[in-house]
């Protein structure tokens, strides 16, 4: 039996852009560095197989302050969406 070493997870921002102007920002996700690299390679393969020229993916590791800012904004959004108590 081989021992597995845990790989650290980091918060990543993932954005997909197409040549036609369609953009998609995926929720922040936790990935290992290896997974982040593999995600970009897999996307390129999917785009190539679909014939989507000019499609790009941006996988960017977030700094701690970015992550804290996102959490703060998420809390503010949830607070605004909650019905006010009478």
Predicted TM-score (pTM) of this structure: 0.61
- pLDDT score of 3: 58
Give me the residue label for tokens 């954005």.
15
Residue 70 lies in a domain: yes
- pLDDT score of 4: 66
Q: Give residue 22's domain range.
A: 10-81
How many structural domains does the chain have?
A: 1
In whole angstroms, what is the distance from residue 8 CA to residue 30 CA?
9
- pLDDT score of 38: 93
Residue 4 lies in a domain: no
**pLDDT digits (tens), the chain, 86 positions:** 555 677 888 888 888 888 888 888 887 788 899 999 999 899 989 888 988 888 888 999 988 777 778 778 778 878 887 776 55
Residue 3 lies in a domain: no
Residue 27 lies in a domain: yes
Query: How many other CB atoms are found less than 10 A from the CB of residue 14?
Result: 19
């Amino acid at each position: 039996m081989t021992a597995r070493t845990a790989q650290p997870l980091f918060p990543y921002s993932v954005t997909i852009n197409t040549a036609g102007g369609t953009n998609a920002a995926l929720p922040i996700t936790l990935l290992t560095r290896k997974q982040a690299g593999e995600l970009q390679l897999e996307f390129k393969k999917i785009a190539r197989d679909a014939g989507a020229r000019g499609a790009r993916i941006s996988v960017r590791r977030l700094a701690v302050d970015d992550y804290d800012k996102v959490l703060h904004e998420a809390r503010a959004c949830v607070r605004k969406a909650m019905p006010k108590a009478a």
